[in-house]
Copies of this chain bind each other. A is one copy, B any other.
Amino acid sequence: MRKPVVVDVKRGVTSYDVAVRAGVSQSAVSRCFKEGASVAPATRARILEAAEALGYAPNAIAQGLITRRSNLVGVLISNLTNLNYPEVLAELTRRFSERDVRVLLFTLQTESDVPQALRQLWRYRVDGVIAAARLEREAIAQFDARGVPLVLYNRDGEGAPVSSVCCDSRAGERALVDRLADAGCRRFGVITGPADSHVSQERVAGATERLRERGLPFEVAEGGFDYHSGEVGLRRLMMTTDGRMDALVCANDAMALGAIDAARHTLGLRVPEDLSVVGFDGVGPAAWSSYQLATVRQPVKRMTEAAVAMLLERIERPDLTPERRLFAGELIPGRSARGG
């Protein structure tokens, strides 16, 4: 029978305990848990067995102090209840986990949460940060000053030189407008996201630019990216256009779904016969058979893969210059717009 091991939990298991049990030196244990250091295979096996039996795990925090790498990255995300972001966060976390990097998560309710999040990021000595949240130039400058790599997700540095991964909002919106105009739509409405959203600004600019090029009239209403604001926006636009609007461009899917429901269940309109509706993102519910939304799907897997790769590269080589990667979205013709 194996001799039971008594460990003082309060003190915690140390490399010394493992060394004693494995019958090796303490420095052999240290080498075993250090990347790139050499240990004989048989010795390594004995050490790992002892470590497992004792529940020993090398202290990542202490190692981080020595190597100056915490193996922690920060992820700032501004609106987790947005239908698109849970998938983004799940993909980012999974990919970092595969590379043995941990995610310190910050969900931001308002702009004013940014300074507090940054203070914590510095305190925990994160190796790098991915931000799917609005950062002012001043905040971006702090990353430069500290030499902490930053990759922005679905927004750019608004002029500051910073790495970013984006879905091409403008090209996507232009394709959606063409999809509607080619199907015969003539009188357009546009529902924007929140005024301070960079994503919304880009999408609305793409749509209205293309509408002007094709000489098509349109009205604009402000929304908030949520389902309910799609309902409200549609009702407002219908009043502005005396009910003559036949196509609605929403700056994201959630608002498009709200607008479709309001059209059908409140205004008694048929979608797409009376009103064509398009969104942007390609979230799960957009494909549900009640909606079959015409939209542009963001290539989330490729975008998160790129963001993780760019960040890890820059953690290894802080001298790399910023890079912007722009991914084309996929046009989903859908059935919420005429001609689908």
Q: Which B residues are CB-close (under 8 A) to A264?
A: 289-290
Say yes or no: A89 contacts B97, CB within 8 Å: no
In A59-100, the 8 Å CB interface with B consists of 59-62, 64-65, 70, 72, 75, 80-81, 85-87, 89-90, 93-94, 97
Q: Nearest chain-B residue to A109 (Cβ)?
A: B94
Determine how many copies of this chain the complex contains: 2
Please determine whether B86 and A97 come into contact, CB atoms closer than 8 angstroms: no
A168 in the interface (beta carbon within 8 A): no
**When chains A and B are docked, how far (Å) is the Cα of A276 from the Cα of B224?**
33
In the bound complex, do residue B61 and residue A124 qualify as a contact, i.e. CB atoms below 8 Å apart?
Answer: yes
Q: Is A102 an interface residue (CB 8 A)?
A: yes
Assess whether A10 is interfacial by the CB under 8 Å rule.
yes
Asked if B103 and A97 make an inter-chain contact with CB atoms under 8 angstroms apart, the answer reads no
Query: Which chain B positions have C-beta within 8 A of A311?
Result: none
Query: Please, which residues of chain B bring their CB within 8 A of the CB of A58?
Result: 123
Residues from chain B with a CB closer than 8 A to the CB of A61 are 61, 64-65, 70, 123-125
Contact A55 B142 (CB under 8 A): yes
Cβ-based interface call for A119 (8 A): yes
A288 to B257, CA, bound (A): 9
Chain B residues near A257 (CB, 8 Å)? 288
Docked-complex contact B105 and A105, CB < 8 angstroms: yes
- Shortest beta-carbon distance from A120 to chain B in Å: 6
Which residues of A (139-180) have their CB < 8 Å from a CB of B? 142, 145-147
Tell whether, in the assembled complex, residue B124 and residue A105 are in contact, meaning their CB atoms are under 8 Å apart.
no
Question: Does A195 interact with chain B (Cβ within 8 Å)?
Answer: no
Do residues B89 and A57 form an inter-chain contact, with CB atoms below 8 A? no
* Bound Cα distance from A110 to B262, whole angstroms: 39
- The answer on a CB contact under 8 Å between B65 and A122 is no
- A146 CA / B7 CA spacing, docked (Å): 10
In the complex, chain B residues whose CB is within 8 Å of the CB of A265:
289-290
**6 A-B pairs closest in CB distance:** A60-B123, A80-B90, A57-B122, A86-B86, A261-B289, A105-B105
Chain A to chain B contacts (Cβ below 8 Å), 10 pairs = A57-B119, A59-B125, A61-B61, A61-B65, A72-B124, A80-B93, A97-B107, A102-B124, A104-B105, A261-B290
